Structure 1
Amino acid sequence: MNPTLPVLIWPIPDHTMMNALDFADPEAQPILTEIQTYLNSFVSPIANRIDQQKTLLSESLQTLGNLGIFRLGVPKAQGGLGCDRRTLWHLSLQLAQTSGALAFLVAQHQSALGILLEHTEGNVAQTYLADLVKGQVLIGVSFSHLRHNPVDLQAQPTSKGYRLQGMLPWLSGFQHMTMFVAAAPLPDQRILFALMPFINAQQASGGILHLSLPLPLAAVPSTQTVQAEVVNWLVPPEDVVGISGADWIALRDRQQLLRSSAAPMGCARASLQILAERADAKNLYHHFRDRWHRLYDQIQGELENLNPPYHAQLRAAAIHLAIQTSQAALIASGGSALVLSHTVQRLYREAMLYTVSGLNAPLRHALMEGLLLEGHRH
Structure 2
Amino acid sequence: MTIYNKLIRDNIPDIIKSDNKQYEIKQQSFTEYKNSLKDKLLEEVYEVLEAKKKEDLVNEIADVNEVLSAIIKAYDLDEEEIKKVQKEKAEEKGKFDKRIQLVSVTNNSIVEKESNKHIDFIHNLEDYLQKNVREKASHLDEDSDLLKQVFFALAKDNPLWLSLKLPREWGGLEINKTGCFMAKMMMAKYSGALAFLQAQHQTAVGMLGGCDNEIIKQKYLQDIAKGLSFCGVAFSHLRRVENPPLRAMVDGEGYRLTGNIFWITGFNIFKDFIVGAVLEDGRELYAIAPFANINKDGGKITINKPMKLGAMASTNTVSATMEKWYIHPDNIIKINPPQTIIKDSEKQVLNNSAFALGCAEGSLDLIKENAQKLQLDSVFFNYEKLSIELDNLKENILTEIVTPSKTPQQQLNLRVKAIDLAFRCAQGAIITSKGSANLQNNTAQRLYKEALVYSVSGQTIPILEKSFELVTRK
TM-score (norm 1): 0.89
Determine the structure 2 residue equivalent to 1:50.
Answer: 140
1:61 aligns with 2:151: yes
CA distance in 2, matches of 1:288, 1:81: 33
Q: 1:105-127, CA deviations, whole angstroms, 9 ceiling, x for partnerless residues?
A: 11100111122233132532231
SS in 1 for 2:390: helix
User: Which residue of the other structure, out of 262, 275, 292, is the alignment partner of 1:182?
Assistant: 275
| Cα pair distance change 1:125/1:252, threshold 3 Å | farther
User: Which residue of the other structure, out of 237, 262, 279, is the alignment partner of 1:145?
Assistant: 237
SS in 2 for 1:340: coil
- Tell me if the contact between 1:28 and 1:72 (Cα under 8 Å) persists in the aligned partners: no
CA distance in 1, matches of 2:293, 2:178: 39
1:295 aligns with 2:393: yes
Q: What is the deviation of 1:262?
A: 1.1
Equivalence map 1:241-260=2 (5 Å): 241-260=333-352
- Structure ranking higher on relative contact order (CA contacts 8 Å, 6+ apart): 1
CA distance in 2, matches of 1:72, 1:172: 19
CA distance in 2, matches of 1:275, 1:30: 28
SS in 1 for 2:458: coil
Determine the structure 2 residue equivalent to 1:15.
Answer: 104
1:347 aligns with 2:437: no
| Cα pair distance change 1:258/1:181, threshold 3 Å | same
CA distance in 2, matches of 1:27, 1:15: 21
- Tell me if the contact between 1:288 and 1:325 (Cα under 8 Å) persists in the aligned partners: yes
Q: What is the deviation of 1:33?
A: 4.1
Equivalence map 1:1-378=2 (5 Å): 14-16=103-105, 24-29=114-119, 31-66=121-156, 67=158, 68-148=160-240, 149-159=242-252, 161-205=254-298, 207-277=299-369, 278=371, 279-280=375-376, 281-306=379-404, 308-309=407-408, 310-372=410-472, 375=473, 378=474
Structure with bigger gyration radius: 2
CA distance in 2, matches of 1:21, 1:47: 30
SS in 1 for 2:233: strand
Q: What is the deviation of 1:17?
A: 7.1
Q: What percentage of residue pairs aligned between the two structures are identical?
A: 32
SS in 1 for 2:307: coil
Q: Name the aligned partner's letter for residue 365 of structure 1.
A: E
- Pairwise CA RMSD of aligned residues? 2.2
Q: 1:65-102, CA deviations, whole angstroms, 9 ceiling, x for partnerless residues?
A: 23011343333344322322112211111111011111
CA distance in 1, matches of 2:440, 2:111: 33
| Cα pair distance change 1:23/1:14, threshold 3 Å | farther
Q: What is the deviation of 1:301?
A: 2.8
Q: What is the deviation of 1:133?
A: 3.4
Q: What is the deviation of 1:288?
A: 1.6
Query: Which stretches of structure 1, 4 residues or more, deviate above 6 A after TM superposition?
Result: 20-23
**Unaligned 5+ residue runs, structure 1?**
1-12
Q: 1:13-37, CA deviations, whole angstroms, 9 ceiling, x for partnerless residues?
A: 942479x999742344554443222
- Tell me if the contact between 1:123 and 1:240 (Cα under 8 Å) persists in the aligned partners: no
CA distance in 2, matches of 1:125, 1:188: 28
- Tell me if the contact between 1:120 and 1:126 (Cα under 8 Å) persists in the aligned partners: no
- Tell me if the contact between 1:139 and 1:179 (Cα under 8 Å) persists in the aligned partners: yes
Which region of structure 1 is more displaced relative to structure 2, 57-66 or 190-199? 57-66
| Cα pair distance change 1:203/1:216, threshold 3 Å | same
Q: 1:219-245, CA deviations, whole angstroms, 9 ceiling, x for partnerless residues?
A: 111100000011121112222222222
- Tell me if the contact between 2:287 and 2:334 (Cα under 8 Å) persists in the aligned partners: yes
Q: 1:241-300, CA deviations, whole angstroms, 9 ceiling, x for partnerless residues?
A: 222222320232134311221110010011111111223432331232232123123223
